[in-house]
Structure 1
Amino acid sequence: MNMSGVNALRLARRPGPGTQLSLTPSYRHKSPFNHRSLSTSRHMAAAQTEEPARERERGLRMQAWQCAGYDGVGGLSLATVRIPPVLRPNDILVRVHAASVNPIDASLISGYGSQVLNMLRLAGQLEQGIVDPNFIEFPVTGGRDFMGEVVSVGHCASGVKVGQHVMGVVSPQRQGSHAEYVVTPASNVCLVPKGVTNEEAASIPYAGLTGWSAVVISGMMRPNAALGKRVLVLGAAGGVGSFLCQLLSAWGAQVTGVCSGDAENLVAGLGAEPLDYRDPGTKQMLVRDGGYDLVVNCSGSDDLEYLEALKSWMGASYVTLSPPLLTNIDNSGIVGGLVKSVRDVVQGNARSVSQGRLYKWAFFMPNPSALKHITDLMAKHRIRGVVDKIFPFSDAPEAYSHVIAGHARGKTIITMQ
């Protein structure tokens, strides 16, 4: 029996004895960029297709933590909404088992980056042939990375199959993973390595790709050229910092991790030499050393004095993961914000360039090959997810508050089970 509907998910029942229920995505979508009719019907194996009674009773609806305004944690509410359809041919639908709460999630629900993200959301609508003069971004679902099970795939999606367990990311302009289901491009996920827990898998993707962008894209340090290089990681016990200590150590770099005193054992166990940032002698010692090839600041606040810890005239870079670009645009508009951001970069480099050191910014970037490299290292037990605290899905606001409080050791996770 074949059933289809425009942009909807329906239940298909296979006739015969022992009939079982399966999720069947059906859609036909037209846009100025793609006039082909899209239609997909995928059935999962018997053990994987039976939907819980509660989902059938809701008529293929799901729960999601959403905000209807930029009111911070107080504005989060648990809503019952439609399971998102797979509209793009390269997208997949994933039933979320676990998701992490990143600092960016806590910032976005307070309005951080809203100007740029709304431009990207509008561009996404235009891609689908939608022109809405009354566009409004709300409600917004947070969550940038996840681990879960694939339940539907677009007809051009490759590399994954229905029923496989994957870990991946969601771009910030899309509806996020703090929901029972999430849609993302197939290129944004990888299979979960054997032996990795749901929570560990959910903790890695966004932090990992952000760290990769800082080191490889901005810092220009390649995996095959990192052996023996000296790297200083500020905020080494946090989500990105704990990942980078492991990644760089796996590449053969000599890593120094600046953290609080009570996190030194954790950082040492990740392959880095720990130093307590509260010790007044730490920064002085590192500046006197002046022998680092790369400084990556994951601490959440810029400290340009650490530029002095870099080698001179050796292509060394200080990379910050707290650039003011989105804040500048939020405060001054697109043109004014870009002008101010250029001025900030020039000022950051004004002194350091004369000494042969570079000041740079880094941002999260989706990167399929990087995610594959990361999961390969996880499979070899060279990288593990560092989980600080786990919250049930029903307590998601408490998870956000925990992240906002700061000083986490690794990642904060929301679990569906």
Structure 2
Amino acid sequence: REEGLFYGLDLGGTNFRVLRVQLGGIEKHVVNRESREVSIPPQLMSGSSSELFGFIASELAKFVADEEKCANVLSNGKKRELGFTFSFPVKQRSVASGTLVKWTKAFSIDDAVGEDVVAELQTAMEKQGLDMHVAALINDAVGTLAGARYYDRDVVAGVIFGTGTNAAYVEKANSIPKWEGELPNSGDMVINMEWGNFCSSHLPVTEYDRELDKESLNPGEQIYEKLMSGMYLGEIVRRVLLKMSLQSSIFGNIDHTKLKTHFLLRTPHISAMHHDETPDLKIVAEKLEENLEITGTSLETRKLVVEICDIVARRAARLAAAGLAGILKKLGRDGNAQEQRSVIAIDGGLFEHYTKFRECLEITLGELLAEYASKSVAVKHADDGSGIGAALIAASQSQYRNVE
């Protein structure tokens, strides 16, 4: 119901996004939105907490400064409200505070672990002279769920398939064994699954996955994520190509320096090769040369590279679909004696840009569900869902404070 300008900050991978949303109330919903994406310098991902949050705050201040050009749309001089999407495991004790449990993906900033990330950001913004209040701390899965459910009440889950992966869904509060205290008035509760850390003996882990995990910043953790998220798919393909090249002559007599470099082959590179439809697989040849300095490959070798990309991406998509089916099964929406529409909102670059991954995920989900559910379940892309969700939750917290 709230009207005015609200902000979202989405930090979860190698980039972060700042977002400004103008809400028009219950009738007009989102009137306008603007966003900016910023790459995080690699050295800040393993530096100090003050350096990382200082950089984020400075970029946020630049973004806010641009609003002076349209200052007439500010809400009566109110303090700026920010929803902070922080997509790493936190121990959250209130809507606007949470201590970092551990880093995932490519981050390793020791002095931030155990600290309140909201306080760190608030301090950094104050140093920048930025008059902004962090109204809510969420993660990208919860933000995607909130943003999508704002438009469609049939949305039951928000899921991220990007640099990392996570999911959140709406559960009946009386179905939560860990719940303590009074039940919420709505009877519902959002469950942040942190499913990237799921591990099971049933997962199809290979020698390449085991070596990748052993050499990662967080060995033994985030196994599900390491099998299917955007940060790791290119690296898995690189490791397969390296072993094949060392044990055979598929690439000829090459210098293996590049091929031995960790994370040199990224998921956008394997996506481009996987989607190559040129008769001679010209794009595959270009990517091998540009990224790995492999030249003079035969057409048969290039076809083999595409097949490896397909195997790795298909495994990821089918594992992703299994996770979605698990949520629907838990909610009783997997086709067993129910007729309600169920929507899963998905955000993240892997789902958005890797077409074959997305198509395989959707086909597999249909295979896993009972006949009726495959028709009543919809998967939709939630464009910038987590950023909008963060701004919406900030707006809702602002409204509650005004009521109080």
Short-chain TM bin: under 0.3
The TM-score, its normalising length taken from structure 2, stands at 0.25
- Higher RCO (CA < 8 A, seq sep 6+): 2
User: Which structure carries more helix by proportion?
Assistant: 2
The TM-score, its normalising length taken from structure 1, stands at 0.25
